[in-house]
Amino acid sequence: MHGTRTSSKRAASRRARLTTVLVLSASALLSVAGPARATAPMDPLPADIPDYQAALDLVKSADVRNTVCRFLGVPVPQGDEAGTPQPIPDKADPCEGMPAFTVNDPLALNEVTAGFVAGTSLPIPTEAVKLSYLVSALNAPVNGRNATVMLAPTQGGGWHLAAVREGDSDATYAGKATVGTLVFTEPQICGWYQLKLTTVEPLNDQARQGLDGRSSVSLSDYQKLLKARYADKLPGSEYDTAGMSSGYGAATKTEEGSSSTPVLVGGSSAALVLAGGAFALRRRRDTSG
């Protein structure tokens, strides 16, 4: 009888120790797994960019890679040829002989809205700035050159290749956005700004000049500056219809209007465009300043 009671006590003691070990083990696992789950991203795709996966697939596609190779395969026009479009040879393998490269993930390129510039929209972030393009630079220079892939939204959803531009300044500035801030451009002066709540801060020399040398202004004061600069230069104005506006626009159609030959447009910021009227970029000054 005594032996039976002793055996029962020993069994209970083992069960208690086993329970304690299991509880401690579970606690240890939770302490390790907990932070890992906490730091894991809830959603790897940017919520503020529609159809981001489609854009990501596009910049990683063979078609975009080949287009970048064609662009980099032609020297940037210099001197007297700077303003003359140059046809790009259509090789079977445009990337043959080029160093390996990848195209980085797309970043948002935000611009001031026409309504904000005209003063008809409220000086609040959702009214002042809009997502216009996505930009993706190369992960490394190719033969000393870098390039930026620009995507434009497609009507009905998705994205399409708008242009390939020389340099990576657009992507560099777009990448300066942080949690709680928004980066946008004033394309007419190639100015880049950071918006913190309702405070506008310059990111380059052009933007500092655009703020009259100030280190920051309120969004409301920035709207007043824009209105003074562009009130008579908005789309549809005489200034615009005369072709004086800078920034983004449609490519000029050729006389035939049906050519699909890629051409390299020269200038201080060369871009690969499609001569048949596809979406493209007007030449702009380099924004690296």
Q: Which of 133, 121, 148 is nearest to 183 (CA)?
A: 133
- pLDDT higher than threshold 80 for residue 156: yes
Q: Which residues contact 247 (CB under 8 A, 6 or more apart)?
A: 111, 187, 188, 282, 284
Residue 10's pLDDT band (boundaries 50, 70, 90)?
very low
What whole-number percentage of the chain has pLDDT above 90? 50
- Mean pLDDT lowest among 135-144, 193-202, 225-234: 225-234
> Using CB atoms within 10 A of its CB, is residue 222 exposed (0-12), middle (13-18) or buried (19+)?
buried
Task: Tell me the C-alpha distance between 155 and 279, whole Å.
Answer: 13
The string of pLDDT tens digits covering residues 55-75 is 999 999 999 999 999 999 887
Name the pLDDT band for 256 (thresholds 50, 70, 90): very low
Entry field: residues in the chain: 289
- The pLDDT of residue 48 is 77
Task: Mention every residue, 6+ apart, whose C-beta is less than 8 A from residue 187.
Answer: 111, 246, 247, 248, 284
Greater confidence (37 vs 236) lies with 236
Give me the pLDDT at residue 42, please.
31
For tokens 């300043």, name the residue. Answer: 289
- Comparing C-alpha atoms, which of 156, 141, 153 is closest to residue 72? 141
The DSSP symbol for 100 reads P
For 4-13, 111-120, 174-183, which range has the lowest pLDDT when averaged over its residues? 4-13
Q: How far apart are CA 159 and CA 56, in angstroms?
A: 10
Is the pLDDT score of 41 beyond 60?
no
CB 281 within 8 A of CB 150: yes
Mean pLDDT in the chain?
Answer: 74
- The pTM of this model reads 0.69
How many CA within 13 A on the CB side of residue 224?
A: 7
